[in-house]
Amino acid sequence: MRINCPHCGPRDSREFSYYGDAKTARGSDFASTYLRDNPTGDHAELWQHISGCRAWLEVVRNVTTHEVLSVKEAGQ
């Protein structure tokens, strides 16, 4: 899978670290840590470009086909 970093260009997904659902509030309780949906289809996720610019990105991809549909900086 390739992710098109807005700063570094297209890169292999091994350069990135997956953080989880981009729309879920993070907390320290059991439910927010362990009880998550397992969606199919298009899904917004947080990734960090750890082997490049270190930017946090919101990646929308189809979790069934792994097709990356869009990439933008997180929080924009």
Q: Which domains does the chain have, with CATH numbers?
A: 2-73 (3.30.2270.10)
Segment 35-65, tens digit of pLDDT: 777 778 999 999 999 999 999 999 999 999 9
Q: What percent of the chain shows pLDDT beyond 70?
A: 87
Band (pLDDT 50/70/90 cuts) for residue 23 is confident
Q: ∠58-73-51 over CA atoms, to 5°?
A: 85
Question: Residue 61 CB: number of other CB atoms within 10 A?
Answer: 21
Quote the pLDDT of residue 25: 62
Region of poorest pLDDT, from 15-19, 29-33, 70-74? 29-33
**Confidence check: pLDDT of 26 > 70:** no
